[in-house]
Amino acid sequence: MSIKENINPNELTLTENVIKINRVAKVVKGGRRFSFSALVVAGDKQGHVGVGLGKANEVPEAIRKGAAQAKRALIKVPLQKGTITQTVQASYGSGMVLLMPASDGTGVIAGGPVRAVVEAAGVQNVLSKSLGTSNPHNVVKATMRCLEELRDAQEIFITRGGKIEVDTFEKIEPVEEEK
């Protein structure tokens, strides 16, 4: 997993997508008090994506808070030819998501919450499977964990002790360790 870098959301043109709006009730002495929570994903379709949960007494305010939280939680997703770099699997609670790279022209084969996150990240070809719960909160968090685990080819090769050329992904030379 790479080191989290601070991404300035003001430099990106982000699109926001509401995944789920939930009405919750608090029972008080005089009856029920209703409020809303909104699960929002924000991304620039070029490798940046974030997810936020906003809570408020009104729906538009909950969406605004969720979008603001999503912009603060942006991560960088390494993309290679419109797909992810390797197969990843992650879970959150009882929700588990499996993401696999796909060949060009496949499209995004994913369910609702997973599709919203990977499309906001800019992934054009991916295969996915959502296992366990279908709760959108857990599925979205598991998808984000999958995307956080992704590493680009250069990072993997350097970790293994080599150096590559980014455009062709060909081995240039191994790095000699000094003793």
Model pLDDT for residues 122-179, shown as the tens digit of each residue: 999 999 999 999 999 999 999 999 999 998 877 777 888 775 555 555 555 555 666 5
User: Of the candidates 48, 80, 45, 76, which has an alpha carbon nearest to the alpha carbon of residue 166?
Assistant: 80
Residue 69 near residue 89 (C-beta atoms within 8 A): no
Residue with tokens 């603060």: 72
Query: Which position has the higher pLDDT, 4 or 16?
Result: 16
Query: What is the spatial distance between Cα 179 and Cα 163, in angstroms, rounded to a whole number?
Result: 19
Angstrom CA distances, 76 to 8, 134, 167, stand at 11, 26, 19
User: Is 50 exceeded by the pLDDT of residue 1?
Assistant: no
Structure confidence at residue 32 (pLDDT): 95
15-59 residue pLDDT tens: 999 999 999 999 999 999 999 999 999 999 998 999 999 999 999
Two tokens at 148? Answer: 């956080």
Residues 21 and 31: their CA atoms lie apart, in Å, by 22
The amino acid at 13 = T
Above 50 in pLDDT, residue 90?
Answer: yes
Find the mean pLDDT for residues 109-131: 93
- Note whether 80 and 153 are within 8 A (CB): yes
Instruction: Say whether pLDDT at 112 is over 90.
Output: no
Lowest-pLDDT range of 39-43, 64-68, 73-77: 73-77
Nearest to 41 by CA among 22, 15, 61: 15
Ordered by where they begin, the domains of the chain are: 9-156 (3.30.230.10)
Distance, CA of 58 to CA of 23 (rounded, Å): 10
Q: Which residues, in sequence order, are CB contacts of 20 under 8 Å at separation 6+? A: 38, 39, 113, 136, 137
More confident residue, 177 or 76: 76
